[in-house]
Chain A
Amino acid sequence: MSHHIVEVKHLQHIYADGTVALQDVSFTIHHGESVAIIGANGAGKSTLLLHLNGYLTANSGEIRIGDFPLTRKTLPEIRRTVGMVFQDADDQLFMPTVFDDVAFGPFNLGLPVEEVKQRVKAVLEQVGAAHLQEKPPYHLSGGEKKRVAIATVLSMSPDILVMDEPTSGLDPFARRQLMGLLRDFQHTKIFTSHDLDMVVDLCQRTIVLHQGIVKADGPTLEIFNDDTLLAECRLEKPLSMQGCPVCGKGR
């Protein structure tokens, strides 16, 4: 496996209605890195993520995942390598039971039934959802759905985890729980999020997208200490880096 695990070069994407979602995006993410892609609404985050597992096709530019360039031929291998967790868990869970949903990917990989059962059991235990195995996904709480959605992806043993807004819609406890889970993963992780405190907690590196271009790319703390950059990109400091709103200390 190449040292450069995700390489995006001059990616451009224009939607059919003429909206330029990505103008010129380039970055390289190395093995084992945990990277946040942040930006205001409409900055191009979701479009970028959809390129990483080949759902959208670029107007120009190139993406390499591991040793492979992203092409129609390499798509199946790339989709196994890049595990994508969608923002809305309801879109990701479509089978009658949690087991069937988590088993969906491994079955598509052509694994034998016994192996699939073992994998499902292992990943559900890993995300703390073993007791939900026979439940229908629509009866789960938001936090449970999210964990099961992550399990559906982990069961395919991806090298890279890509997550769109992992903490959105979760209560504080479920959010903490999920962050603890994500912190323990050894995968290369790419998140998009508006939960900037989560970004500070989980990501050493942050890429700031603004109007379809990479406005900044560097260590997370450095980015969040650049007030001019944040204001320009319609972002704010994470709450944990702001002073106390009551006593004003730390401002």
Chain B
Amino acid sequence: MRSIDGAVLDLKRLDLLATADSVIHRLDARAKVLTTLVFIVTVVSFNRYEFTALFPFFIYPVVTASLGNLPGGYIVRKIIMVIPFAFVVGMLNPIFDRELFVRIGPLAITGGWISCASIILRTVLTVGAAFILVGVTGFLSVCQALERLGTPRTFTVQLLFLYRYIFVLTEEGARASRARELRSCGRKGLGLASFGPLIGHLLIRTWLRAERIHMAMLARGFTGEFHSRQVSGFGWRELFYVAGWSAVFVVLRMENGAQWLGRLVTGGLS
């Protein structure tokens, strides 16, 4: 129960980080959204056995998070949470793909393990970039940026409501789970049997609560558009930001930055 409450507060913290002021925070949201999109597309575009070439891409999340003064430990914890999901996606690769890929002394690494590690690494990079984007921009501004970039309003408003619904659902879920836990006296209660009605109730309660919130929004003149106090335009700074990062991503996509660095250190370039 406490973990549900804690998880919600932790997620809300991400939005609060976005209210800070830094070089990255001050950039127009569209620039950050575009750069993150280019980053994600580049990272995903590698072939499935690529592993080492992905490492240099950490430069983007690390630089953005540090310029945006995001707490590193917090972001790392958030990313660690999604690694198990990535592992589930890739866990069958080592079983089906047993082709020998690299041999390090007695250790033989198959293609399956490489592609599984690659999936995890890509998840860490892309999910990390998305978290950092929200942390330096705010979910509301990300949606506004998407809209200004041409995404239909219906879609962005749905996205915002969905995001808001996560909080409503988890808050109500935490209450229901607390009530169940307190009355099951430390035992399992009625076990699985009690979860059916619990989930049904949860749906109805969150629905009613969401309606009340919607009512409060309508009462304050909501017409399907969210506004932000941040006024920014897409200027030269933003153009340089997008172009600069995109150039870095393209170079890192064409050249294996990790190998290049290795050759540089070992003198292989001369």
Q: What is the interface of chain A, defined by CB distance below 8 A to chain B? A: 50, 53, 55, 76, 79-80, 82-84, 86, 88, 91-92, 94, 96-97, 99-100, 103-105, 107-109, 113, 116-117, 134, 136, 138, 152-153, 156
> Does A91 lie within 8 Å of B212, measured CB to CB?
yes
Q: How far is the CA of A31 from the CA of B250 in the complex (A)?
A: 67
User: Contacts A86-B212, A134-B19, A136-B16; is A94 near B227 (CB within 8 Å)?
Assistant: no
Of all A-B residue pairs in the complex, the 8 with the closest CB atoms, nearest first, are A107-B227, A108-B221, A105-B220, A96-B15, A91-B212, A84-B219, A92-B216, A55-B215
Chain B residues, Cβ within 8 Å of A96: 12, 15-16, 18-19, 138, 140
Interface string of B39-76 (1 = CB under 8 A from A): 00000000000000000000000000000000000000
> Does B219 lie within 8 Å of A108, measured CB to CB?
no
> Does A86 lie within 8 Å of B19, measured CB to CB?
no
Query: How many residues belonging to B are interface residues under a CB distance threshold of 8 Å?
Result: 26
Residue ID in chain A nearest B225 by CB atoms: A108
Some 21 contacts from A to B, beta carbons below 8 A apart, are: A76-B223, A79-B220, A84-B216, A86-B216, A91-B209, A91-B213, A91-B216, A92-B216, A94-B164, A96-B15, A96-B19, A97-B19, A100-B140, A100-B228, A105-B220, A108-B221, A108-B223, A113-B229, A113-B231, A134-B19, A138-B12
Chain B residues, Cβ within 8 Å of A91: 209, 212-213, 215-216
> Does B19 lie within 8 Å of A79, measured CB to CB?
no
> Does A152 lie within 8 Å of B215, measured CB to CB?
no
Query: Is B260 close to A, CB under 8 A?
Result: no
Residue ID in chain A nearest B139 by CB atoms: A96
> Does A103 lie within 8 Å of B220, measured CB to CB?
no
Q: How far is the CA of A94 from the CA of B218 in the complex (A)?
A: 13
Shortest CB-to-CB span from A47 to chain B, Å, is 13
Interface string of B205-237 (1 = CB under 8 A from A): 000010011011111111101011101000000
> Does A108 lie within 8 Å of B212, measured CB to CB?
no
Interface string of B1-21 (1 = CB under 8 A from A): 000000001001001101100
The one of A88, A136, A156 in contact with B220, judged by C-beta atoms closer than 8 angstroms, is A156
The one of A80, A116, A136 in contact with B221, judged by C-beta atoms closer than 8 angstroms, is A80
> Does B229 lie within 8 Å of A152, measured CB to CB?
no
Chain A residues, Cβ within 8 Å of B231: 113
Shortest CB-to-CB span from B10 to chain A, Å, is 12
Chain B residues, Cβ within 8 Å of A153: 219-220
> Does B218 lie within 8 Å of A79, measured CB to CB?
yes
Chain B residues, Cβ within 8 Å of A50: 215
Chain B residues, Cβ within 8 Å of A99: 229
Q: How far is the CA of A191 from the CA of B12 in the complex (A)?
A: 33
Q: How far is the CA of A81 from the CA of B164 in the complex (A)?
A: 27
Most chain A CB within 10 A, of B221, B223, B231, is at B221
Chain A residues, Cβ within 8 Å of B140: 96, 100
> Does B215 lie within 8 Å of A108, measured CB to CB?
no
> Does A156 lie within 8 Å of B221, measured CB to CB?
yes
Chain A residues, Cβ within 8 Å of B9: 138
Interface string of B99-113 (1 = CB under 8 A from A): 000000000000000
User: Contacts A55-B215, A88-B212, A91-B209; is A100 near B229 (CB within 8 Å)?
Assistant: yes
Q: How far is the CA of A156 from the CA of B219 in the complex (A)?
A: 10
